[in-house]
Amino acid sequence: MIRIAVLVSGGGTNLQALLDARKEGALGGGVLSLVISSVADAFALQRAKKEEIKTITIERKKYREISEFDEALAAALTEEKIDLVVLAGFLSVLGAKVLEAFKDRIINVHPSLIPSFCGKGFYGLRVHEAALKAGVKITGATVHLVNDIIDGGKIILQKAVDVMPDDTPQSLQKRVMQEAEWVILPKAVELFCEREMTGGKK
Ligand code: GAR
């Protein structure tokens, strides 16, 4: 059994995709054990509570230093014996302690085809605004491993999505979520868990 923590900061539609995959038995031996939010009123928390998944709020704004926030996150993840950390719309940067303790065990979903429109300052709607401004005809989403370079870890899965001539950042965000993020995030979790369950042989 692979114990999974999902870290969120907002609406939690990617968390919902994982909750739905779980119902279909599509997490490859992974168990959604904990949801941590960096924002107290994130709607994602309600989604988790509805499914009776343990939730913790560790508010980024309550910690002056990133190192203290990092400590609190690391302690919560260790306490719950977490094997895999999934960043699903988690908008705070992780610190050294969590990165070291969970090396190659943290994955993130990003709403573009990395290496385009990623790195510092590229999150949420801003990513889609930048894609439209650049005039790209194809965008998409990426699931990647997390290291100390923002959006710089090894790419696990990507899926392309067409940009339509009349797209707004909002319409593009919705299509990228529906066609790409909600598909590749559960798939990447399943792949990770299956590989762990078979001792890396899959
Ligand atoms: C998603 O589009 C996710 O890819 C993005 O924030 C949104 C969260 O939505 N994450 C980033 O931009 C990280 N760089 P959700 O809370 O509904 O899952």
Q: What is the mean pLDDT of each run of 10 residues along the chain (202 residues)?
A: 97 98 93 98 98 97 94 98 98 96 98 98 97 98 97 98 98 98 98 89 62
Q: Give 132: exposed, middle or buried? Use CB within 10 Å, 0-12, 13-18, 19+.
A: middle
Closest CA to ligand 1's atom 15: 12
Q: Which residue numbers are catalytic?
A: 110
| Three-state secondary structure call for residue 32 | strand
123 vs 9, 49, 74, 126, 189, CA distance in Å?
12, 26, 23, 6, 21
| Nearest alpha-carbon partner for 7 in 62, 71, 84, 81 | 84
- For residue 41 the two structure tokens come to 């009123």
- For residue 127 the two structure tokens come to 């990513």
Q: Using CA atoms, how far apart are residues 170 and 125, in angstroms rounded to an integer?
A: 7
State in Å: Cα 9 to ligand 1 middle. 9
Give the pLDDT of residue 201: 65
Whole-model pTM: value is 0.97
- For residue 58 the two structure tokens come to 């560790």
State in Å: Cα 131 to ligand 1 middle. 15
State in Å: Cα 90 to ligand 1 middle. 7
Tell me the best of 45, 90, 123 to mutate to test the pocket of ligand 1, counting ligand atoms within 8 Å of each CB and taking the most. Answer: 123
Give the pLDDT of residue 199: 80
131 pocket-lining for ligand 1 (C-beta < 6 Å): no
16 pocket-lining for ligand 1 (C-beta < 6 Å): no
Tell me the best of 143, 150, 181 to mutate to test the pocket of ligand 1, counting ligand atoms within 8 Å of each CB and taking the most. Answer: 181
